């Protein structure tokens, strides 16, 4: 489905460009080349910061900071992620990822979020579908609760804004509402989701996977 959406967007974009500037499709080609060049530059610019925060995550994990943070905020994380065992490294990684989002450091939240997803996947009984904890984590990260939008403030200051911090309160209120809505929607949809079929065989290269509620079990 995602591939079809991207294909439709590309086709519509090319058609609109050709319609607005008949016979000057070269503009589309120029934009594609420029966009590709900018994407490569952006990817290279993120290597340093992602490597830095990945290293910081490893140091925090080896020093026991991740586990301590998980224990400190366990009352909150246990309510949000009841399926994650107490003291599991996933809770510490989740806390660090949320902290980066709250401080508005999006580049730091990316590697930390990847680490949290890896730890949550270790607890997932199925490799074919996301667990409840993974869905909750994605919903909260997408909502992006931010108390101090550090990256935006820095960008506004670099652009010459006279008051770069004026967006703090609007950003805090907007992301607080979005995060609250994401948590409520997650709980509502989890409670009212349709029941899974007890058994659903699927033959794939001499193997049979029976789908049960809560995960997959391989037979044969």
Q: pLDDT above 90 covers what percent of the chain?
A: 6
Which residues lie closer than 8 Å to 177 by C-beta, 6 or more apart?
none
Q: pLDDT above 70 covers what percent of the chain?
A: 75
Is the pLDDT assigned to residue 29 strictly greater than 80?
no
Is the pLDDT assigned to residue 70 strictly greater than 70?
no
Which of the pair, 172 or 219, is modelled with greater confidence?
172
pTM: 0.59
Is the pLDDT assigned to residue 173 strictly greater than 90?
yes
Instruction: Write down the pLDDT at residue 177.
Output: 94
Which of the pair, 81 or 21, is modelled with greater confidence?
81
pLDDT-derived band at 159 (thresholds 50, 70, 90) equals: confident
Instruction: Write down the pLDDT at residue 22.
Output: 60
- DSSP for the chain, written as a single string: -HHHHHHHHHHHHHHHHHHHSTT-THHHHHHHHHHHHHHHHHHHHHHHHHHHHHHHHHHHHHTTHHHHHHHHTHHHHHHH-TTSPTT-HHHHHHHHHHHHHHTT-HHHHHHHHHHHHHHHHHH-S-SSS--HHHHHHHHHHHHT--SS-HHHHHHHHHTT-S-GGGGHHHHHHHHHHHHHHHHHHHHHHHHSPPPPPS--EEEETTEEEEEETTEEEEE-
Q: Which residue has the tokens 């979005």?
A: 178
pLDDT-derived band at 178 (thresholds 50, 70, 90) equals: very high
């Amino acid at each position: 489905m995602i591939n079809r959406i991207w294909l439709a967007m590309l086709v519509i974009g090319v058609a609109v460009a050709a319609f607005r500037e008949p016979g000057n499709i070269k503009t589309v080609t120029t934009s594609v080349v420029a966009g590709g060049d900018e994407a490569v530059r952006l990817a290279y610019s993120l290597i340093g910061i992602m490597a830095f925060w990945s290293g910081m995550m490893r140091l925090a994990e080896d020093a026991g900071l991740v586990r301590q943070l998980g224990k400190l905020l366990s009352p909150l994380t246990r309510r949000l992620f009841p399926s994650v065992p107490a003291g599991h490294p996933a809770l510490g990684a989740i806390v660090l990822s949320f902290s980066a989002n709250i401080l508005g450091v999006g580049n730091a939240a990316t590697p930390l979020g990847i680490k949290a997803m890896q730890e949550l996947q270790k607890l997932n009984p199925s490799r074919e579908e996301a667990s409840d904890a993974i869905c909750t984590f994605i919903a909260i990260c997408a909502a992006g609760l931010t108390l101090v939008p550090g990256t935006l403030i820095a960008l506004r200051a670099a652009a010459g804004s006279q008051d770069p911090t004026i967006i703090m309160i609007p950003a805090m209120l907007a992301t607080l509402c979005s995060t609250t809505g994401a948590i409520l929607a997650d709980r509502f949809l989890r409670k009212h989701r349709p029941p899974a079929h007890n058994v659903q065989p699927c033959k794939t290269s001499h193997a049979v996977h029976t789908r049960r509620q809560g995960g997959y079990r391989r037979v044969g």
